[in-house]
Chains A and B, each alone.
Chain A
Amino acid sequence: MVSEGPAQRQSAESAYHFAQAALAKGHEVIRVFFYHDGVHVGARASTPPQDERNIGAQWSALAAEQGLDLVVCVAAAARRGVLDEEAGRRLDQAPAPGSLLPGFRAAGLGQLIESGIDADRLIVF
């Protein structure tokens, strides 16, 4: 789980490096859940300066390469304006609402709890 926003803390970066190291060792990352301010990572509209790394875009690329399931909490995202109105209405059904980066989907907190039940380890960044 990524719990903090890319502009406030390093969470999304640390989780990214950890996921890469875990995948390189042959482990499976069944899901990455973005909660609290972490939902900002999946926001399509965020554009950091060109000489800075865009961690959201990097997660997108890693998801495409490794088939990762990137889930933005729908309630937390709606509260912070990360999901647009239309996406908010469609909630769980949308594979990639327009306001999210490719590879991200919006879903409920149940996805986090389900991961906690199914995975051998749930790690919060």
Chain B
Amino acid sequence: MLHLVNRSPFEERTIDACLRVAAPGSAVLLYEDGVYAGVRGTGVAGRLEAAAREMRVCVLEEDLAARGLQDAALVPGVHRVDYDGFVELAIEYDSVTTWR
């Protein structure tokens, strides 16, 4: 399953809920304000790094760039994808759910 998270980790606990529940082997895509969670050096980076060892964690390139983070170092194990990659992820996994 592909899990979508669009909330800033500093505003809501959405990413915590997603990482607590998502089964190992699933994928998480951070988009919109969710991309802030994927950047290296924040207070939630450790949590993301641990998650990235159990599942595939991606960050949406367009939303990073919009926020001035196009060149930001990401949490180790976290990958960039663009909208084409987003579509491919949605196909690769059997279903898609949004943590909103």
Contact = CB atoms under 8 A, between A and B. Distances in A.
- Touch A–B, Cβ below 8 Å: yes
Interface of A: 3-4, 9-11, 14, 17-18, 20-22, 24-25, 27, 121-125
B96 A122 contact: yes
A125 B98 contact: yes
Interface of B: 4, 6, 31-33, 62, 83-84, 86-87, 90-91, 95-98, 100
Contacts of A20: 83
Given A121-B95, A124-B98, A125-B98, A14 B31 contact: yes
Contacts of A121: 90-91, 95-96
Contact of B83 (A9, A18, A27, A124): A18
Contact of A124 (B32, B84, B87, B100): B100
Nearest to A4: B100
B84 to A, nearest CB: 5
A12 to B, nearest CB: 11
B23 to A, nearest CB: 18
Nearest to B88: A25
A14 B32 contact: yes
Given A123-B96, A125-B98, A10 B87 contact: no
A62 to B, nearest CB: 14
Given A3-B100, A14-B32, A124-B98, A25 B87 contact: yes
B66 to A, nearest CB: 9
A4 B97 CA distance: 16
A25 B84 contact: yes
A14 B86 CA distance: 11
Nearest to A123: B96
The 4 A-B pairs of least Cβ separation, nearest first, read: A21-B83, A124-B98, A10-B32, A21-B87
